[in-house]
Amino acid sequence: MAVRAVIFDLDGVLVSTDEFHYRAWQRLADEEGIAFDRRANRRLRGVGRMESLEIMLERAPRPYAPEEKAALAERKNRYYRESLEALAPGDVLPGVREVLRALKARGVKVAVASSSRNAPEILRRTGLADVADATADGNDITHSKPDPEVFLVAAARLGLAPAECLVVEDAASGVEAAAAAGMRSLAIGAAAGHPQADRSADDLASITVDEMLGT
């Protein structure tokens, strides 16, 4: 079945806010006296906020009650949102705008699917809000990747079957979510070479739309 839509993950695919996330988690960990570094941060890629918090708390010197965890997650998000004020259209990753224009020219629909609840703000600040035919984000779902929910919501909003969609992901959990959704995937960056991906590339600047679509 031909690809009629490409569903893009947001962070690490269209825009990189990895450093913003890392600094927010690091600040929170420092305030709580929890050991945290870039190696630990790599485990948080493609993982939802509460799941990420649980990973960070594995090295906590004391247990945290559920209400404390909720407060920690909100504090981290506040730090992260403060950092997003510096985000601008120039932070869109190389090759992204060219790929989006080429897909539009071919009549291929575009969606953005992210587990982040901050996705609408990121899209607005980077000038990508009007590019997508549909979006799905952390505000629309109850299960984070590798659960396929966010991709299935995006496909439903596009009015297409999962088999008609190609997912572009940079996290293993996202590639696994695409497979669980019954969608093909292009794995880029850290996810390149994932055994469940249909295609791989370093980034969107290093692959043509023909290669992406398999045409």
**Mean per-residue pLDDT, 140-160:** 95
**Mean per-residue pLDDT, 2-30:** 94
Share of the chain above pLDDT 90, in %: 86
Res 46 pLDDT > 80: no
Phi, psi (rounded to 5 degrees) for 24: -65, -45
pTM (2 d.p.): 0.84
pLDDT for position 214 = 87
Q: Which of 166-180 are b and which e, b meaning 16 or more Cβ less than 10 Å from the residue's Cβ? A: bbbbbbbbbbbbbbb
pLDDT for position 121 = 93
What domains lie within the chain, and their CATH numbers? 5-16+89-213 (3.40.50.1000), 18-86 (1.10.150.240)
Q: Which residues pair with 109 in a beta bridge?
A: 5
Res 116 pLDDT > 90: no
End-to-end, the C-alpha distance of the chain in Å comes to: 12
Is the distance from CB of 167 to CB of 185 less than 8 angstroms? Answer: yes
Please give the Cα distance from 5 to 164 (Å, whole number): 7
- The CA-based diameter of the chain, rounded to the nearest angstrom, is 55
Q: Count the Cβ atoms, other than its own, within 10 Å of residue 138.
A: 17
pLDDT for position 55 = 94
**Mean per-residue pLDDT, 95-123:** 95
Res 82 pLDDT > 90: yes
For 161-198, how does the pLDDT look when each residue is reduced to its tens digit (9 = 90+)?
Answer: 999 999 999 999 999 999 999 999 999 998 999 999 99
Dihedral of the alpha carbons of 200, 201, 202, 205, in degrees to the nearest 10: -150
Look-up of token digits 């939802």 = 48
Query: Is 11 among the residues known to form the active site?
Result: yes
Please give the Cα distance from 33 to 99 (Å, whole number): 44
Please give the Cα distance from 67 to 132 (Å, whole number): 36
pLDDT for position 115 = 87
Is the distance from CB of 113 to CB of 136 less than 8 angstroms? Answer: yes
Query: Is 9 among the residues known to form the active site?
Result: yes
**Mean per-residue pLDDT, 70-87:** 94
Query: Of 97, 81, 77, 78, which is closest to residue 89 (Cα–Cα)?
Result: 97
pLDDT for position 3 = 97
Which of these is catalytic: 9, 18, 147, 170? 9
